[in-house]
A and B are shown apart, each in its own frame.
Chain A
Amino acid sequence: MTSKVKRKLTEFLFLLPSLIAFLMVIIVPFILGIYYSFTDWQGTGAVSQSVGFANYAAIFKDAGFLHSFLVTLLFTVLNIITVNVVAFIISLLVTSEIRGRNVYRAGFFIPNLIGGIVLGLVWQFIFTNIVPSIGSSLGLPTLSKSLISNKDTVMFTMVTVNTWQYAGYIMLIYVAAIQGISKSVMEAAEVDGARYWTRVTRIQIPLMANAFTISLFLTLTNSFKMYDVNVALTNGGPVAMFMNKPVQASELLALNIYNTAFKYNNMAQGQAKAVIFFIVLTIFSIIQVSWNKSKEVEA
């Protein structure tokens, strides 16, 4: 064997395990998935027949799905705001001159270590037992009932839990960005007599633009794909009215897809919903990439 062939062979073998896994786990199921979304596939292995766009047509008449879509968008927008505002405030606090900032920094990140199922359960306990108990002893009628089983407040509980979990992570990104700002710039501003808020708004925030973009898209995809907190915290409930139909008030898209397939025993339609989900995420990513590109050009 010549050394060149040997070299090529080695390189091929290096690539092989990744490629096999990629094909088997992503590519083939992906193609199958798109195919199934055009059939009456039942998931139990029965032979499926093509139904054209019937699954897709049904989706757009499905009030539950449309509602899930809107709720997911709402959840995403609220989440982006609260997570980033909270994270930014914390990052300012833990990079200020306070004592114990390193301990705080480590501590705020801890919720991010815990999985969605576990903390969904913990917060379900908090919202169904602790909060009502405190609320009724304080004589606050809204707080003395479970915020989860009220369709108007359930979104608040989801955002609270997600912010609590995710803000610590985003905080780390902001902290890194703040520390990346050269100290001479800040000192110069201090010497020039710039007040604290002026320094934050005029110097730190503009210099952290990149960190904001990163955090924005991280929060965006994280919120949009949310599943396990949703299952463990609210299970999609309670019920609300939408387009004159009963729908699940807090059922995000990922849960709606799962329930369509398993609970309502409609695998093909669940698959079609998943394809729509994929298309939306792709659009988000394209926006992100072009946004980054345009910024690179500016810089």
Chain B
Amino acid sequence: MKKLISLVLAVAMMLTAASALADIVICQNKVEIGSIMEEYAKGYTERTGVPVKVITGGGSQDYNTVLKAEMASGREPDIFVIEGVSGYELWKDRIADQSDAEWTKTCTAPYVADGKIVGFPVAQEGYGLAYNKDILDKAGIDPATLTNYDAYAAAFEKLDSMKAELGLDMVVSMVAGTTNNMTWVTGLHNFNVYLSVGLERGDDTIINKLLQGEVDAERFHQYCQYVALLFKYSDPEMLLNGNQETQMVAFTSGKAAFYHQGNWMDPTIAQAGGIGFTAAYAPHAFLKEDTDGILTDAASWYVVNSKGNVDEAIAYLNALCGTDEGKEYMVDKAGMIPAFTNVEAKATDATPLTKSVVEWVNAGKTYSWQQYKMPDGFGMGTLGAIYELLASGAIDVDAFEAMMIEAIQGVKK
């Protein structure tokens, strides 16, 4: 009997002895900079002695799923990312007020809610339809003319007819498949074209309609035609089965003239050997009339968990925009466009997509991001599935439009 009790005690003691905690745990959603961020965190630990652990969800693992699991665990992240209002609403009882933090003094796009500054903008990001200028030149297409649906339709058709000559496998490199969890490209980013293009920054008429279960019928009809156009000139296999890697390679290797991704791909492109041609963004001009601007915004924010190590977390964020190492990480390593007056964006040829975004921003031709105001899972899940149906040819564009409208009507319960 004694033996048994001592055995149990021994096991119990062994178990309780074995759990140490890191001082800052960060849960973030950018797979493209996962390893770069881990490297920065390592350097931060060396400089300050504060251990930092980076948890990355996203890519083929859904970020919100990862974050929920992290939150449900005993060790909640101290810093995590919210992608706008649905994230804020979900976690607001845990989000700390950072109004007095050092970084807020130079920040141009903080997340403000209920009169408090709560979110540190991860970066300004942008996307349009990236193009390979060398190919467009050869085909005699001036990217500056791509400002409406008809211009795109003509350009795509011309490129398609010259595929062999230009060495193209496809006109547009785009992905839409569920299998590789790529529906954010369609259900969130592409859908934001409908929500935002042509409107003043901050104009939320269309998204507010959507949240009421309504669509702007004429605008939406034109948008659906644009989606169908993009898909028509994409490679069906890439649409359904591509992942970020293959989608990127199709563009960087010159097999596709256009590329539906944002400037966050720059670090990955650089790691894979860079681009050997001139690339820049053209607008997602889906309307019959001209619209000229790409979609940029601070898309996600670091928030601090009020139940975690708040001081250490804020110190980490201050260092990101306030120290040379932090600036170097954001601008040079991660290739991001910071939303801080004291951190200058670098637009070099090493990061061509970012360079293009900076140019559009400086020209003042941008539209905002509204997609993260949609309910959880709606864009990637509900809408993403309908995009995939269109991509696979299971439905035509009219059925697509009808199903999308039906799904949107279901938003308001």
Contact = CB atoms under 8 A, between A and B. Distances in A.
A152 to B, nearest CB: 10
A43 interface: yes
A44 B60 contact: no
Interface in B177-200: 177-181
Given A235-B178, A237-B177, A265 B388 contact: no
Interface string A69-92: 000000000000000000000000
Contacts of A235: 60, 178-181
Given A10-B1, A246-B388, A264-B377, A149 B240 contact: yes
Interface string A253-285: 000000100111100000000000000000000
Contact of B386 (A150, A246, A259, A262): A246
B179 A44 contact: no
A149 B8 contact: no
Given A43-B68, A128-B241, A263-B381, A238 B181 contact: no
B179 A234 contact: yes
Interface stretch (B206-214, B262-270, B337-345, B389-397): B389-397
A236 B237 CA distance: 18
A241 interface: yes
B64 interface: yes
Contacts of B240: 146, 149-150, 238
A247 B71 CA distance: 29
A257 to B, nearest CB: 13
Nearest to B4: A13
A239 B65 contact: no
A240 B181 CA distance: 15
A163 interface: no
A145 interface: yes
Interface in B41-70: 60, 62, 64-65, 68-69
A247 B72 contact: no
B385 A149 contact: no
A162 to B, nearest CB: 17
A148 interface: yes
Contacts of A236: 178-179
B153 interface: no
B403 interface: yes
A265 B90 contact: yes
A17 interface: yes
A248 interface: yes
A151 interface: yes
Interface in B68-118: 68-69, 71-72, 90
B403 to A, nearest CB: 7
Interface string A223-245: 00000000000111111110000
B179 A237 contact: yes
Nearest to B178: A237
Interface in A139-165: 145-146, 148-151
B376 interface: yes
A148 B395 CA distance: 19
A228 to B, nearest CB: 14
B241 A262 contact: no
Interface string B362-396: 00000000000000110011100110110010110
Contacts of A149: 177, 179, 237, 240-241, 392
Nearest to B182: A237
Nearest to A144: B237
A148 B237 CA distance: 11
A150 B389 CA distance: 11
Given A248-B178, A262-B65, A264-B381, A44 B71 contact: yes
A246 B241 contact: no
A246 B237 contact: no
Contacts of B90: 44, 265
A149 B240 CA distance: 6
Contacts of A241: 389, 394-395
A246 B385 contact: yes
Nearest to A248: B178
Nearest to A147: B241
Contacts of A263: 62, 64-65, 376-377, 380-381
Nearest to B69: A262
Contacts of B72: 43
B177 A248 contact: no
Contacts of A132: 237
Given A238-B178, A240-B394, A262-B65, A145 B237 contact: yes
A146 B376 contact: no
Nearest to A265: B376
Specify which of A13, A17, A149, A150 lies most central, judged by the most chain B CB atoms within 10 Å of its CB.
A149
10 contacts: A10-B1, A43-B68, A150-B392, A237-B179, A239-B385, A239-B389, A246-B388, A263-B65, A263-B376, A263-B377
Interface of B: 1, 4, 8, 60, 62, 64-65, 68-69, 71-72, 90, 177-181, 237, 240-241, 376-377, 380-382, 385-386, 388-389, 392, 394-395, 403
The 8 closest A-B pairs by CB, nearest first: A237-B178, A237-B179, A246-B385, A149-B240, A264-B377, A239-B388, A149-B241, A146-B241
Interface of A: 10, 13, 17, 43-44, 128, 132, 145-146, 148-151, 234-241, 246-248, 259, 262-265
